[in-house]
Every structure is written in C-alpha cells, then in structure tokens.
Amino acid sequence: MSTRTRAATAVFLAATASLAAGCSAGAPTPAAEATASAPAPTTSPSVALPPVTATVPPTTTANPPTGVPSPAPAPPFTADAYVSPVSVATAWMTQWCSSDWRQPRNDNVQRAAALQTSFAAAADLAAGDSEGAYRQMQDMKVSSACDHVTAEVDPEAPAGQNRVFVIVTANRTRMADGRPFQTAPESSTRAVVRQTDGRWLVDVAVDAG
C-alpha cells in the first residue's frame, strides 16, 4: 500500500494547524499475473480532516500554490481512457484527486469507480471520508483539484499480459472557499488489470515493503 509523503504533510499541518493531508507512495510486492483483484489495502487514498477551530491561514512563500487546476471532466469516459494501463490510471487519478464540498460525500471516489474494478472501487469507498470529515469539509468549504497528472508502468514490478503495476502522480491543490492554500504531490502505485473485453481497469493500491 502507498505510504504518506511526510514532507508534504508536515508543510500542510504547519500551514493549516488543523487539516491533515494524505499522500501515498509505494513500491509493489511481487505478484503473480492474474486478472483477479488483490486483497483489500489496509489504507487507501482519502482526505480525513480532524476537528478544526481556526480558519485556514493565507498561503505562505514556503507553501505556494501552483494555481487552481481545472475541475475534472465529468463521466462517462470515452473508450480512449481504457486502452492502456497508463491511460486508465491517469484518468482515475484525475477523478479521484478532484473533490468539492458542494458535491455528495465521496463523490470523487464514485466518479473514479467507472475506471476501476468493482473490488477496488468498493475498497476505496470503504476507506473514503467519514460523515464527520465530510461535514467539516462543508463547514470550511474545502475543495481540491489536480494537475500535472502522470502515470508510468513500474519498471521494477512484475508484469504480464493482463496485469501490471502503475505509478501515478499529480500535484494536488486544496482550496478553502475557492482560495488555494496548499499544493502538495500525490502518488499511488496501483495494480491495473485487463478485462475480458480488452479494457484496462485500475485495481487496488499496492502494499509497500
């Protein structure tokens, strides 16, 4: 499973004094070629906000945002999104990384589910925002969006005709009431599997170590 980017989290905590940002990265463990889903991850990319009592401070020079990325395009997705492990992982990260306090809870996970196996979608939804965290996001009007999304097949991981491991990254900008206050990298390693109809779908996050 992907690990947290501690440096980005430290900057985020210092800037907000009340928000917590999750960021994952990891290297896959060896796995046999298969189209079946792997066991559910112990963690999954999600945003869980602790109770807050202060407003979000202005952006500092130590933590400058890159701007406000465009919102993720709405599904349905074209067939091009499913033609390769890289294309589907890129489309998945673009959807998962974009959230809006005005949308239903875990709306980003629901949108990204169209690019995933059913097992991975269920695992990500189960690890998504709690009702309490969602209410806090609404109270603070917190949204996020990503740009500079990239994906590549992990050259050090086992690969087969129907199963590969993809490292997908992005820059995620968080906003409070439309004002950007933090930009930090996101990274996740995902199994990606080919279905019998030829489509590639993102599977569960890969355990680290």
- At residue 68, the pLDDT reads 76
Backbone angles phi, psi at 192, to 5 degrees: -130, 130
Tokens of 99: 């959230």
CA distances from 69 to 29, 156, 179 (A): 33, 31, 12
50: in domain? no
Q: Show Cβ contacts of residue 126 under 8 Å, excluding neighbours closer than 6 positions.
A: 40, 44
Please indicate, yes or no, if residue 54 is contained in any of the structural domains: no
Residue 169 lies in a domain: yes
Q: What pLDDT, on the 0 to 100 scale, is given for residue 41? A: 41
What Rg value do the Cα atoms of the chain yield, rounded?
A: 17
The proportion of the chain whose per-residue pLDDT surpasses 90, expressed as a percent, equals 58
Q: Is residue 171 included in any domain, yes or no?
A: yes
Asked if the structure places residue 98 within a domain, the reply is yes
DSSP 3-state assignment of 47? coil
Residue 104 falls within a domain, yes or no? yes
Q: What is the pLDDT of residue 112?
A: 95
Please check whether residue 21 is in contact with residue 171, taking contact to mean a CB–CB distance below 8 angstroms: no
Q: Give the pLDDT confidence score for residue 72 in this predicted structure.
A: 81
- CA max distance for the chain: 51
Domain of 188: which CATH number? 3.10.450
pTM, two decimal places: 0.68
The verdict on residue 182 lying in a domain is: yes
Total domains, the chain:
1
Q: What share of the chain is helix, strand, coil (3-state, %, to 5)?
A: 25, 25, 50
Q: Which of 40-49, 67-76, 88-97, 176-185 comes out lowest in average pLDDT?
A: 40-49
Asked if the model's pLDDT at residue 13 lies above 50, the reply is no
Provide the domain limits for residue 86. 3-32+40-45+67-205
Q: What is the mean pLDDT of residues 39-64?
A: 41
